[in-house]
Amino acid sequence: MPLLPGELRLRDGQPTTLGVLGGGQLGRMFAQAAQAMGFRVAVLDPDAASPAAQVADLHIRAGYDDAQGLAALALACDAVTTEFENVPAQALQVLAARVRVAPGAQAVAVCQHRAREKAQFVQGGVPCAPHLLIACEADLGDAAPHLFPAILKTATLGYDGKGQCGVPDAAALPDAWRALGGVPCLLEQRLRLACEFSVIVARDDHGHCVHLPVQQNLHRDGVLAVTRVPAPDVPPAAAEEAIAHTRRLAQALGYVGVLCVEWFALDDGRVLANEMAPRPHNSGHASLDACDVSQFELQVRTLAGLPLPQPRLHSPAVMLNLLGDLWFASGGAASEPARTPRTPDWAGLLALPGAHLHLYGKAEPRPGRKMGHLTVTAAEPEAALALARQAAARLGLPAA
Ligand code: ADP
Ligand code: MG
């Protein structure tokens, strides 16, 4: 039976409530999508002022491993999801004993660990970069020459390019591994990328699966900077192949919820899977303004067991991430960055047709911190790109 918004529970007369572990911007946009449909939303997060806590109907201020907090969340909710990839799988298991949880602990555990993730790719026949798990010092000697030049990534807790470093050759590997703390790492061949893109799917309890249009992603310093939909440089055959693999991965994981797989496109037409996120993804934010069903509404629908229509892109779009650096942008290219933060010229941005501003309610801008995003929609991809370039220029960002 689907969970319907506005329904009152027999148990306590409360309206249907959806819960989310994690209070970041992804949780905030999930909450807003759920509330727009008439659901109540509960957020569990230790931070009183987190983006999702600000908009939640109920904020349970607790850590992800706090037994009391998890019990309170289970009691308050009809179903719980996660917006935070590194939530302890144990927390999801504890919750699952009391309340519907999607995605499940096992699928999240695979996405949390780069070696498990790669093993899932290999097992499912999904192509990925040649790699080696460096679990301990003894494994350093096993790195075959064909893996170099390589990238070394911590097996867990890496994000936005953090927890990784380049390794030119085998001789440089021991120092690189120690520099990352001597923790279990994955060594990956550095690929020559033609472009990067992502595929977001949503899968329900019955195995019905839909996908968002393929998104092309540009990273700067390891952080997503620009997403374009439709993806201008991804050949249709490559996109189809990546979509088919992503759907199969979701099926193999018995996945219920929104799953994102990041893909590398190579010059020779091959596509290789990079990593998975067991939740909506930064590269899917344009779906809020460019698709008739956003990735957050898909998350709500899968969690509540509601129908999943195939999303339709109604407007070509370009999404620009708004990092805290913008608040410190200097007046001219040559001058020093400002020391005290200044609010960027939002009014100037919003004067552009098709500009949609999303700010996450974070009080303190810091360099590299994701403060919001801007999606520019237009009738044609070229027009969206031209407008995004104007927006980038007004913000002092590099050209989209
Ligand atoms: P994160 O969890 O920080 O997003 P990723 O594994 O996605 O970590 O790496 C971040 C970025 O680094 C990728 O989006 C890509 O630009 C680059 N990168 C990662 N792995 C490789 C690789 N094997 N070859 C070339 N570039 C890579
Ligand atoms: Mg990534």
The torsion angles phi and psi of 351, rounded to 5 degrees, stand at -75, -15
DSSP H/E element including 393 = helix 381-395
Greater confidence (7 vs 251) lies with: 251
DSSP calls for 131-190: EEEE-SGGGGGG--GGG-SEEEEESSS--TTTTEEEE-SGGGHHHHHHHTTS--EEEEEP
The 10s digit of each residue's pLDDT in 192-227 is 999 999 999 999 999 999 999 999 999 999 899 999
How many CA atoms within 13 Å lie on the side-chain side of 170? 10
Atom of ligand 1 nearest to the CA of 190: 24
Q: Which ligand is nearest to the CA of 161?
A: 1
Greater confidence (278 vs 9) lies with: 278
What is the reported pLDDT for 399? 79
Indicate the pLDDT class of residue 72, thresholds 50, 70 and 90: very high
pTM exceeds cut of 0.85:
yes
Residues in contact with ligand 1 (CB, 6 Å cut-off):
129, 151, 153, 158-161, 188, 190-191, 193, 196, 219, 222, 262, 274-275
- Cα gap 219→310, rounded to integer Å: 28
- Cα gap 340→199, rounded to integer Å: 38
- Tell me the CA distances in angstroms from 77 to 21, 72, 80, 149, one per residue in order: 12, 9, 7, 49
Tokens representing residue 293 in the block: 């069903």
CA 98 – ligand 2 centroid, Å: 32
- Cα gap 251→63, rounded to integer Å: 31
The 10s digit of each residue's pLDDT in 353-399 is 999 999 999 999 999 999 999 999 999 999 999 999 999 999 999 87
Could you tell me if 204 and 267 are in contact, meaning their C-beta atoms sit under 8 angstroms apart? no
DSSP bridge partners of 219? 224
Atom of ligand 1 nearest to the CA of 217: 14
Indicate the pLDDT class of residue 10, thresholds 50, 70 and 90: confident
CATH match of 193-395 with 3.30.470.20: yes
What is the reported pLDDT for 331? 53
- Cα gap 259→245, rounded to integer Å: 12
- Second-level CATH architecture of 130-189: 2-Layer Sandwich (3.30)
At 347, which amino acid appears? Answer: A
Instruction: Provide mean pLDDT across the span 230-241.
Output: 97
CA 372 – ligand 1 centroid, Å: 22
CA 380 – ligand 2 centroid, Å: 28
At 163, which amino acid appears? Answer: G
CATH number of 10-101: 3.40.50.20
Boundaries of every domain in the chain:
10-101, 130-189, 193-395
DSSP bridge partners of 134? 185
Instruction: Provide mean pLDDT across the span 34-53.
Output: 97
Atom of ligand 1 nearest to the CA of 158: 2
- Tell me the CA distances in angstroms from 335 to 26, 129, 329, 343, one per residue in order: 35, 41, 9, 18
Question: Residue whose CA is closest, atom 27 of ligand 1?
Answer: 190
At 329, which amino acid appears? Answer: A
- Which burial class, exposed, middle or buried, applies to 79 when counting CB atoms under 10 A from its CB (0-12, 13-18, 19+)? buried
- Tell me the CA distances in angstroms from 118 to 92, 114, 147, one per residue in order: 22, 6, 15
Indicate the pLDDT class of residue 335, thresholds 50, 70 and 90: low
Q: Which ligand is nearest to the CA of 225?
A: 1
Ligand 1 pocket test: pick from 113, 147, 151 the residue with the most ligand atoms within 8 Å of its Cβ. 151
